[in-house]
Amino acid sequence: MPEGEVLRVRLPRGKEVLGTVDELLGASRFRVECRDGKSRICRIPGKFRKRINVRVGFIVLVNPWEIEPDEKGDIIWIYNKTQSNWLRKKGYV
C-alpha cells in the first residue's frame, strides 16, 4: 500500500466492541475476547455464514445482545489483514 493512501476501516459505533476470536465452538459460534474485558459467545448471522471463513486470532466487531449482553453477541464485521494491522497501529486493538 503506497504511503499516504487513505484506508477506510469500520470502527465501533454505539454498543459495538472490538474483539479477537479465541476459540471455535462449532455451529457458527465462537468465543471472542472483547476489548471491554468480557469473553462472549458470538454467532455469525445468516448474511455472513456462507461467505466468510473465520479463524482463531481474527479481529472482529461484536454487537452484544440486548438479553445477556455480557455473555453473548453477534459478529457483525470481520476485519481483513490490512485492516487489522491498521487497527493495531492506531491503538484500537
Spell out the domain ranges in the chain: 17-83
- Gap between the terminal Cα atoms of the chain: 21
Contacts of 58 by beta carbon, 8 Å cutoff, 6+ apart:
20, 21, 78, 79, 84
Does pLDDT of 3 surpass 70? no
Q: What pLDDT sits at residue 4?
A: 52
Per-residue pLDDT reduced to its tens digit, 8-35? 889 999 999 999 999 999 888 999 999 9
Confidence of residue 54 (pLDDT cuts 50, 70, 90): confident
Q: What pLDDT sits at residue 6?
A: 57
Rounded distance, CA 62 to CA 20, Å?
10
Provide the percentage of residues in the chain whose pLDDT is more than 90. Answer: 66
Once rounded to an integer, what is the mean pLDDT over residues 39-58? 85
Mean pLDDT score of the chain: 88
For 17-83, CATH number out of 1.20.58.1910, 3.60.15.10, 2.40.50.140, 3.10.310.10 equals 2.40.50.140
Does pLDDT of 58 surpass 90? yes
